[in-house]
Amino acid sequence: MAQLWGGRFTKETEKSVYDFNASIRFDKALIDQDIEGSVAHVVMLEKQGVLTLEEKDAIVKGLTSIRNEVSEGKLVITDEYEDIHSFVEAKLIEMIGDAGKKMHTGRSRNDQVALDMRMYVREHVAVTADNVADLLFTLNDIMEKNTDTYMPGFTHLQKAQPTTLSHHMGAYFEMFKRDYTRLTDAYERMNYCPLGAGAFAGTTYPLDRNYTSSMLGFEGPTLNSMDSVSDRDYCIEALSALSMIMMHLSRFSEEIIIWNSNEYRFVEIDDGYSTGSSIMPQKKNPDIAELVRGKTGRVYGALVSLLTTMKGLPLAYNKDMQEDKEVTFDALKTVNDCLGLFNGMLRTIRFNKDIMQRSAVRGFTNATDAADYLVLKGVPFRDAHGIIGRIVVHCIENDRSIDDLSIDELKNFSEYFETDVYDAISLKTCVEKRLTLGAPGPEAIKEELKRNKEFLDKIKRGDMKNE
Ligand code: ARG
């Protein structure tokens, strides 16, 4: 057991207490951030005259070798250290001697861990935003290629009105676009540096917080030292944005699973992205979509877990906050894995356009348009709704569709029907007439694709900021 704080104690910590308290098992993931933060800290200490040039050089050199040796596997991070901060400091002292003992001057593990965590979350949130961007490019490709791929749109999972695949994918484009901006927005708000806050009340050393902040690529230092060490809002904001992404991926997965079912057959998932059954040879299962849907729970769990951890904490640092790590690390990894795999599945999926189109003409998806036709001929909408309703009942009883009925049959329900009805309620007309902003009609979709392109161009320019 290698501890940083033995001086005050006359007795060894119980082994079980030590293990319960230790975080090295998971916070070793912060090694790079920890070393980068320490380098910035000591460079600043030297600039401010707190360390000599030789001491600073020795510490930076030592820290660099620790980083290299760990990444090459020559130095193993073991459980005998309490946390990653203790590990790095102990190894540094072993390596360079007394100068290493000066690294922690004017710093506390409280501001150190706050810094490491911010850097980790910041970096991974940027990766998540890139992954969401990749998905947006895939969705936009599918949209461009399918402006006239007709399919039924559903409400209550019942066929409702015809639409296009482009329009359907466009709905997901909007969701993931919001997710993207939520991430960039959270990124901007978290990009402030807590280093220099000390235990919670700053220090008496002449630290230059602006200097370390800009060395570490932050927008500026955090403004209240007590808040700096006790704030985990940025983790919660990130987890909330991640939960929303999972909710969207899960809804999308559910649709893929339905569309892939034997009854629908709207899509065929590529062999590379599906799995088989150990007993039923005919099976090709949508496991990726099911796992993505299934993993949504653990990401929500992370959000609720951290919200709950934080809700009773008095200022400033409390050990409860060590619980931020496992859930946040796990959620970030889960979401990034899910985005990557889902995107791969979507990029390779085949849409059975004929089946989709055939499905769109059945199921009375043109009933609204048939009512609208009568309205154009002068029938009040409520009456038209009733007439078409009666026609639908008649069709169901006789296994027909509306456009299947002869003009004489139609006239039995309303004298307002003329032969132009067939064109008015054809699948093509039903879709093409829908030109309201945001609707599936060709002109409306063209505008939507134009707006998508503007958004994607902004991403390509590397513009993480929101305007
Ligand atoms: N392992 C701790 C954490 O993750 C580091 C901070 C420890 N600070 C303290 N005052 N005990 O939160």
Nearest CA to ligand 1 atom 11: 319
Percent of the chain with pLDDT over 90: 89
Domain regions of the chain by residue span: 6-105, 110-357, 359-457
| 238 CA from centroid of ligand 1 (Å) | 21
Does 156 participate in catalysis according to the annotation?
Answer: yes
| 461 or 293, higher pLDDT | 293
**pLDDT reported for residue 444:** 96
- Give, in words, the CATH class of 110-357: mainly alpha
Segment 124-153 mean pLDDT = 97
**Ligand 1 centre and the CA of 319: distance in Å?**
6
Give strand ranges (E) for 237-368.
267-268, 350-351
Asked if the bond preceding 316 is cis, omega within 30° of 0, the reply is: yes
Give one DSSP letter per residue of 191-258, joined into a string: -EE-TT-TTTT--SS---HHHHHHHTT-SEE-S-HHHHHH--HHHHHHHHHHHHHHHHHHHHHHHHHH
Closest C-alpha residue for ligand 1 atom 2: 322
Considering only CA atoms, which residue is closest to atom 4 of ligand 1? 322
Query: Is 277 assigned a catalytic role?
Result: yes
* Beta partners for residue 369, in sequence order: none
From 83, 118, 229, give the residue whose CB has the most ligand 1 atoms within 8 Å, as the site to mutate. 83
* Closest ligand 1 atom, residue 317 Cα: 10
Catalytic residue from among 16, 213, 261, 277: 277
Task: Report the atom number in ligand 1 closest to the C-alpha of 84.
Answer: 1
Task: Tell me the mean pLDDT in the region 395-405.
Answer: 92
**What does the alpha-carbon distance between residue 193 and residue 37 come to, in Å, rounded to a whole number?**
10
Give distance in angstroms: CA of 323 to centre of ligand 1: 10
What residues does ligand 1 touch, defined as CB less than 6 Å away? 23, 27, 83, 109-110, 113, 317, 319, 321-322
Alpha carbon nearest to ligand 1 atom 7, residue: 109
Tokens representing 100 are 């290493």
Radius of gyration over alpha carbons of the chain, in Å? 30
Pick the catalytic residue from 156, 248, 250, 414: 156
Is the per-residue pLDDT at 464 higher than 90?
no
pLDDT band at 9 (very low <50, low <70, confident <90, very high): confident
pLDDT tens, residue by residue, 414-442: 999 999 999 999 999 889 989 999 999 99
Q: Which of 313, 319, 328 to mutate to test the pocket of ligand 1 (most atoms within 8 A of CB)?
A: 319
pLDDT digits (tens, 9 = 90+) for 36-77: 999 999 999 999 999 999 999 999 999 999 999 999 999 999
- Nearest-atom number in ligand 1 for the CA of 199 is 10
At residue 2, the pLDDT reads 66
Give the distance (Å) from ligand 1 centre to CA of residue 227.
15
**Given this structure, which CATH class describes domain 359-457?**
mainly alpha
DSSP string computed for 70-128 = HHTTSS---TTBSSHHHHHHHHHHHHHGGGGGGTTTT--HHHHHHHHHHHHHHHHHHHH
The pLDDT score that the predictor gives to residue 467 is 39
Which of 81, 89, 104, 113 best tests ligand 1's pocket when mutated (most atoms within 8 Å of CB)? Answer: 113
Mean pLDDT of 116-142: 98
Instruction: Give me the chain's average pLDDT, please.
Output: 95
Distance 317 CA to ligand 1 centre (A): 8
Which CATH architecture is the domain 6-105 placed in?
Orthogonal Bundle (1.10)
Distance (Å) of CA 312 to CA 197, 309, 315: 22, 7, 10
pLDDT band at 90 (very low <50, low <70, confident <90, very high): very high
Closest CA to ligand 1's atom 12:
322
Whole-number pLDDT of residue 466 = 44
Picking from 162-171, 202-211, 362-371, which range would have the lowest pLDDT averaged per residue?
Answer: 362-371
- The per-residue pLDDT for range 343-379, each reduced to its tens digit, is 999 999 999 999 999 999 888 889 999 999 999 999 9
